[in-house]
Homo-oligomer: A and B are copies of this chain.
Amino acid sequence: MEGFRVLEIKKSVFENNDREADKLREQLKKEKTFLLNLMSSPGSGKTSTLKATIAALKDELRIGVMEADIDSDVDAKTIAETGARVIQLHTGGMCHLDAGMTKQGLDGLGTENIDLAILENVGNLVCPAEFDTGAVKNAMILSVPEGHDKPLKYPLMFSICDVLLINKIDVMPYFDFDLEKCREYTTRLNPKIKIIPISARTGEGIDEWTAWLRAQVREWNA
């Protein structure tokens, strides 16, 4: 037995996604569940960062995870090993999740007794930025090997996020990644964004990231 189930989510039927997203946030507020939407390119370390996040917060928050992917269930398997409640969502080829699809996922996961629900969105810096999922906060990961010029190329994603995690800083010596330029490009698009360099592998920066997340969850669920 694998400890999670796979849900095939359907394309939403709602015309006004922003309205559905607002309704979902209202529902989450009543249920005292904080929803984080985690986005990034393929392979920048969403699942590893989630594992480190769950390890740091699992004794104080009840955590549920939705792993969205076009196909496969490798991420849900990895998260199930942490003991967190997890569900794998298959998007049927869709490149993003909208609020209606996120609601299907939350219904499948079950939000009762969940303080912090995390949606690991499809690995993609373009389409997920265009759809409000109903999350309370948007987080994104940019990993060092991807390069510091990504805010120039995918400006919408960097504009709509509340926090940017710069992951894989342990391999910084092997790449030409200019952290200050990355900060400058990002804050030019989004002056209020919180930027936290981390390494999901070594644990560097995870304290600062989980302190930020813990504070957001407590404020929302108060």
Identify the A interface with B (CB < 8 A): 41-44, 69-72, 74-75, 93, 95, 122-127, 130, 143, 145-147, 149-150, 152-156, 168, 171, 174-175
Contacts and interface: CB of A to CB of B under 8 A. Distances in A.
Contacts of A42: 41, 125, 146, 150, 153-154
A127 B147 CA distance: 22
Given A70-B156, A174-B174, A43 B124 contact: no
Given A43-B41, A43-B150, A145-B168, A126 B156 contact: no
A126 B70 CA distance: 8
Given A95-B127, A125-B123, A171-B171, A43 B147 contact: yes
Tally of this chain's copies: 2
A99 to B, nearest CB: 19
Contact of A93 (B74, B130, B152): B130
B125 A145 contact: no
Contacts of A146: 41-44, 145
A153 B74 contact: yes
Contacts of A125: 42, 123-124
Contacts of A175: 171
B154 A70 contact: yes
11 contacts: A42-B125, A43-B145, A43-B146, A72-B149, A75-B153, A93-B130, A95-B127, A123-B125, A123-B153, A124-B126, A145-B171
